[in-house]
Chain A
Amino acid sequence: MEQYKLSVASSPHASSPVGTKNLMRDVLIALVPAMVMGVWVFGPRALTMTLVSVLACEIFEWGYCKLMHKPNPIGDLSAAITGVLLVFVCPVTIPYWMVIIGDFFAIVIVKQLFGGLGTNFLNPALAGRAFLMLSYPVPMTTWALPGKENWVSMGSVGADVATGATPLSVDFMKSSIAPEASLADMFIGNIGGCVGEVSAIALLIGGVYLIAKGVIRIRIPAAYILTVAVLTLVFSRAPEGVSSITWMLMEIFGGGLFLGAFFMATDYVTSPNTPKGEIIFGVGAGLLVVFIRYFGGYPEGVCYSILVMNICVWLIDKYTMPKRFGVTAEMRKAEKEKAKAAKKAAKEGSEA
């Protein structure tokens, strides 16, 4: 037989067709419906902002890696997702330079300084938003009115637009007045708010796409949304004339919960890896959202709830290791008792 050059490697000799790039591309595809709704509600500026942000993120990522002599990471598309998501959680009215500052903070400070893809402990887009929120609180809470007549021009550097309150703004929630927008408006997205968060239906479509494709698992979004739903239903603060179920739906659709649940909380790097951990993460974030909305000074809470839970991820993972294969509850109990007895014996031994 002829001699061939054969390659030798450790098994397995097969790999799934899905690589990191495919996953990231699917996330970008899932964001398209929300992008379309953002443009429809706020005008083409939503799109130009997103493009600027994606470009800035990729440039920062490439530049940092070049400077540090690290391999070029552009191909993995993860910075593009950060770019899109950061714009999605900002008002359409903020100036372009502000977006770029947010991108810098997200990519360079939060992601790359902690080791780049896979090692950052905070969601870069949300950390970027939190940074902008602290630095520029006024522009970051100025909401353009929805609808074509209120579209913000592409060249505008901010301000000077018709503004109003979002459904979840302090005006309504803290004083228990029903928002002007109807539930249907909130579901479709005909409301004020951040670029990508307004349309619950668009985000839901994207989320279902990701779950159907197996890109994300349902545990985190389900636990997150259900927790918020149950709490806002049980401890309803519905104003008179609004049923508590309608109010619960308003709390769910009116803010950034869907965007957070499907696209932020499920961020691979900053969410738990164990099945049980994912549930705890979702429930924890849900609790925090409700606590912030009910008792905090801030009407939203999705952003901070996820950031706080991000910090707990490694701890959650450590204590939610899957059950060891073949070990039953009785065996675990016996093991524990044995360890206890051994400890006791050792103690008595040292005392004697």
Chain B
Amino acid sequence: MKQMFYGGVHPAEHKEATEQKPIQQLAKAPAQVVIPMSMHIGAPCKPVVKKGDTVMIGQLIGETAGLGAPIHASVSGTVAAVEPRPGTGGVPTMSIVIDNDFQNTMSPDCKPRENVDALTPQEIIDIIRDAGCTGMGGAGFPTHVKISSAVGKADTIIVNGAECEPYITADHRLMLEHGEKVIGGVRFIMKALQLDHAYIGIEDNKMNAVENLKKLVGDAKDITVQALHTRYPQGAEKQLIQAITRREVPPGKLPADVGCCVFNAATVAAVYDAVALGLPLFQRVTTVTGSAVNNPVNLIAPIGTSFAHLIEEAGGFKGTPARVIGGGPMMGFAQYDMNVTMGKASNCILCLSKEDLPATSENPTCIRCARCVNVCPMHLTPVYMNMFAHERRWSEAEEYRLMDCMECGCCQYICPARIPLVQQFRTAKFAIRQQAAKK
């Protein structure tokens, strides 16, 4: 039986442009990478190299300061600068700029590990921490923190291969071409969490990935590959848990509180690289696609490669691009500067031409059609939240559970009046948080 969560929408998938294309190495390595020190939830990393230093691939260049995951050099060469640079989040971020020497010198620490079977759970967690693994699906939560906080609490491991956002095929290709990494990685995580079973949830528009993983699992009973009904936001943590286990994560709680621990497919593959191959997280697969690039591709690229370089790798802009988005169309961030660089969570660079921009209205008028209420996966009433937020009645908006909103964008996607609901909710949430801070 195909599993479902409540609500959701099914936008045009647009995955056909890249779903058949194998993951490619960059045709031309970037001459310079800019590695932001904040690619995860928590405190930014502290740079441990300075201008003029020589670095090798995989060498530690940023160490954690509080909650976070360490950061490693993604190319070999010389540190050109340690300074704030424009970030994908819209604000300047402290970054390490490395000039590539094109030698691809690997750090001597990066070598396949022997005796991986003898590792203890704690050793696996330590390796994952030192390799800088973070959630690679969007939010970027440090993986080792997720695992250590769930030890003893979680009874279900879920690998998120849903990839529910339109356009993106990075995880799809990864599961198809490097399925053994996903399977291997999830087994390491199972060992770290001392559990003997895991689910891999994949939407049924990627049946070849499902078949591939099923084949790799074979007769083993420790991993269930679960096909899921294609619907956005399947890949949202709470919705995926609901679809697979029927459990609902209570407001303000974490998945571990209902015994679940969710990892992105790319993260799991990175865990495999870290534990078995000794490679820290310094590169990732990303999809460069959209109607405004000539040759949409799935690329494996060093962290810190600029959007401009990646778009060149995809054949450059086709016509005039109207919007370039870091991430998918539903939750990604629109960029204004092509010098921003991809981070650990950049799964897609989406270039849209004018025709593909979302419809807007100069005079959006709510007709109370309640389509937003029917698609909201969090059981909210966006129609009323919007009304109160629009009138700046923050306390009433809060009563209508505005703070439960996860900004998935379903309501705004479906809204026939084209009301900018998500923007309204973000503004309101910001105001409510500020108000609470003042008290």
- Interface membership of chain B positions 348-391, coded 1 if the CB is closer than 8 angstroms to chain A and 0 otherwise: 00101000011101110111111001101111110110000000
Chain B CB within 8 A of A159 CB: no
Given A268-B368, A325-B248, A7 contacting B379 (CB threshold 8 A): no
Provide the residues of chain B in CB contact with A275, threshold 8 Å.
373-374
Distance in angstroms between the alpha carbons of A278 and B370 in the assembled complex: 10
Q: Which candidate, B101-109, B143-151, B202-210, B314-322, is the interface stretch facing chain A?
A: B314-322
Interface size class of A (residues with CB under 8 A): 35 or more
CB pairs A–B below 8 angstroms (18 shown):
A1-B312, A6-B336, A7-B322, A7-B323, A9-B323, A11-B333, A12-B358, A14-B409, A15-B359, A16-B413, A20-B367, A20-B416, A268-B369, A273-B381, A274-B373, A317-B381, A324-B401, A325-B404
**Do B381 and A322 touch (CB < 8 A)?**
yes
Q: Contacting B363 at CB < 8 Å: which of A71, A217, A269, A271? A: A71
Separation of A117 and B364 alpha carbons in the complex (Å)? 11
A4 within 8 A of B: yes
Decide yes or no whether B93 CB sits under 8 A from chain A: no
Complex Cα–Cα for A9 and B368 (A): 24
Determine if A177 is an interface residue (Cβ-Cβ < 8 Å): no
Check: A155 CB closer than 8 A to any chain B CB: no
Is the pair B321, A6 in contact by a Cβ cutoff of 8 Å? yes
Q: Are B323 and A274 in contact (CB under 8 A)?
A: no
Check A326/B250 contact, CB under 8 A, given A8-B335, A13-B358: yes
Interface check B37, CB cutoff 8 A:
no
* B379 close to A323 (CB less than 8 A): yes
Chain A residues whose CB sits within 8 angstroms of the CB of B249 once the complex forms: 325-326
Distance (whole angstroms) from the CB of B431 to the closest CB of chain A: 15
From B427, which residue of chain A is reached at the shortest CB distance? A10
Q: Enumerate chain A residues within 8 angstroms of B377, measured Cβ to Cβ.
A: 325
B330 → chain A, closest Cβ, in Å? 5
Complex CA gap A16/B144 in Å reads 39
Contact: A12 with B330, CB < 8 Å?
yes
The answer to whether A273 touches B426 (Cβ under 8 A) is: no
Inter-subunit contact B367/A7 (CB<8 Å): no
Check B199 for interface membership: any CB of A closer than 8 A: no
Tell me how far the C-beta of A9 lies from the nearest C-beta in chain B, rounded to whole angstroms: 6
Stretch at the interface among B28-36, B46-54, B417-425: B417-425
Interchain nearest-CB distance for A109 vs B (Å): 19
Residues of chain A within 8 A (CB-CB) of B251 are: 324-327
Judging by beta carbons under 8 Å apart, are B323 and A8 in contact?
yes
Q: Are B368 and A11 in contact (CB under 8 A)?
A: no
Q: Which 7 A-B pairs have the closest CB atoms?
A: A12-B409, A15-B358, A10-B423, A273-B370, A326-B250, A322-B379, A326-B248
Residues on A with beta carbons closer than 8 Å to the beta carbon of B277: none
Knowing A13-B334, A118-B365, the reply to whether A321 touches B400 (Cβ < 8 A) is: yes
CA distance A76 to B418 in the complex (A): 13
Kindly state whether residue A18 has any CB partner on chain B within 8 Å: yes
B307 CB → nearest A CB, Å: 9
Q: CB-CB < 8 A to B361: which residues of A?
A: 19
Query: Could you tell me the distance between the alpha carbons of A328 and B266 in the complex, rounded to whole angstroms?
Result: 33
Is A331 located at the chain interface by the 8 A CB criterion?
Answer: yes
List of B residues within 8 angstroms of A331 by Cβ: 250
Q: In the complex the two chains form, what is the Cα distance from A23 to B400 in whole Å?
A: 27
In the assembled complex, B324 has its CB within 8 A of some CB on chain A: yes
Q: Does chain A have a CB within 8 A of B9?
A: yes
A150 interface hit (Cβ, 8 Å)? no
Other-chain residue from A12, A272, A324 in contact with B413 (beta carbon distance below 8 A): A12
B253 touches A (CB below 8 Å): yes
B77 at the interface (CB under 8 A from A): no
Q: Is B407 an interface residue (CB 8 A)?
A: yes
Please, which residues of chain B bring their CB within 8 A of the CB of A20?
Answer: 365, 367, 416-417
CB distance from B107 to the nearest CB of A (A): 31
B369-A321 in contact (CB<8A)? no
Please give the distance in Å from B296's CB to the nearest CB on chain A: 16
**Using an 8 Å CB-CB cutoff, how does the interface string of A12-54 with B read, 1 for contact, 0 for none?**
1111101110110000000000000000000000000000000
A23, A76, A118, A327 — which one has the most chain B CB atoms within 10 A of its CB? A118
Q: Is B4 an interface residue (CB 8 A)?
A: no
* B336: A residues at CB distance < 8 A: 6, 8
B304-342: which residues lie under 8 A (CB-CB) from chain A?
308, 311-312, 317, 320-325, 327, 329-336, 338
Contacts A6-B321, A6-B323 hold; do A274 and B358 have CB atoms under 8 A apart? no
B287 to chain A, nearest CB (A): 15
